[in-house]
A = this chain, B = another copy of it.
């Protein structure tokens, strides 16, 4: 029963779907948003607060954790779930995105990537095999294939090469993961293998930049490998919103219908709604908590900044009628003061609000799909209207 995705309702006018993904640590109701806990903590939040917000899944990052404190340590401490006190579904990213973001500090080879740590300059070599072994040690429910995310401004030739490597690596990741109960030795990685407490689902990542033919080729390739879910990478990396929506649109017919579709690194409300309408079931993004630490919050139809002088004497909550703890108990005036003074409580209260906003949006989207009214909701979605009106 693990890693089964059951679609409960399809929208008749868009490609939106409502479903449930089953994992060893519980169900995930989709469409869903993953709160990012890069270094094994969703910044400024406790697990209990995340649960109170209705978070069903969070993620942590292989790149950061392999460098500090190391996957072996976390395995010895009982795995990521136990170590970080989170008993619901958990996903680890493969580290591919972070390694390739190192730009001049990494060297791409056919079998992996050599890179220098952003922390101390030490040299590391990450391969598809290692990315899987590390993620097995961390023990998340969903783990990701090691991929190469080409920069948004790459030409077609380079984008294609990166895509081909990503495809080959996906096959290696799959084979490595299938052998996880009888692990083969991985070169340059001699540490004792930790036998998994729980089964894990491996997802591949579609690449191909903004090139329609590459994206379709990549989607078909990954679909053929038959993973329990499929991720879309390399979007929201500098391309226009039109390009992002277009890519989602053209790959949708080629995505395996019965599998979970996960769009990586996207968390703006208008993008989420557009992507759900194009068949996406799951999102993650660091922005809700990062925005919060910089004083930005999700308002009715746009992002606003609490440090703005207009809020000095404002007795309103961040968002009228918002049910979150921050809006129920604090005024913009006080929140502005906290953020101006760099008080931790300011980051906390804005993080709670922003995460609540997105998780509530996901619940609303789900309800709209269930009721058969998603298309109307989508058309009227205030963030979408605001963005479109700005373009004109």
Contact = CB atoms under 8 A, between A and B. Distances in A.
B44 A345 contact: yes
A77 B338 contact: no
Q: On chain A, which size bracket covers the interface?
A: 20 to 34
A44 B333 CA distance: 18
**How many copies of this kind of chain does the complex include?**
2
A39 B166 CA distance: 51
Contacts of A333: 69, 73, 77, 83
A83 B345 contact: no
Contact of A83 (B41, B44, B76, B334): B334
Nearest to A77: B333
Contacts of A43: 343-345
A67 to B, nearest CB: 11
A355 to B, nearest CB: 14
Given A77-B331, A329-B85, A334-B84, A69 B347 contact: no
Given A333-B83, A334-B83, A44 B344 contact: yes
Contact of A41 (B39, B45, B331, B338): B338
Given A315-B77, A344-B43, A348-B46, A69 B329 contact: no
A347 B347 CA distance: 13
A167 to B, nearest CB: 34
Contacts of A338: 41
Interface in A313-344: 313, 315, 329-331, 333-334, 337-338, 340-341, 343-344
A69 B85 CA distance: 38
A310 to B, nearest CB: 14
A312 B41 contact: no
A68 B336 CA distance: 11
A347 B84 CA distance: 15
B68 A340 contact: yes
Which of A46, A68, A338, A344 has the most chain B CB atoms inside 10 A of its CB? Answer: A344
A352 to B, nearest CB: 10
Contacts of A312: 69, 73
A40 interface: yes
A313 B73 contact: yes
Given A83-B333, A340-B68, A313 B41 contact: no
B345 A46 contact: yes
Nearest to A343: B41
A10 B40 CA distance: 50
Nearest to A331: B77
A40 B331 CA distance: 13
B73 A331 contact: no
B313 A68 contact: no
Contacts of A40: 334, 337
Nearest to A39: B341
Given A41-B343, A44-B348, A73-B312, 10 more contacts: A39-B341, A40-B337, A41-B345, A43-B343, A43-B344, A44-B344, A69-B312, A83-B333, A85-B329, A85-B334
26 contacts: A39-B337, A39-B341, A39-B343, A41-B343, A43-B343, A43-B345, A44-B344, A44-B348, A45-B345, A46-B345, A46-B348, A69-B333, A69-B337, A69-B340, A76-B313, A77-B313, A77-B331, A77-B333, A77-B334, A83-B331, A83-B333, A84-B334, A85-B329, A344-B344, A344-B348, A348-B348
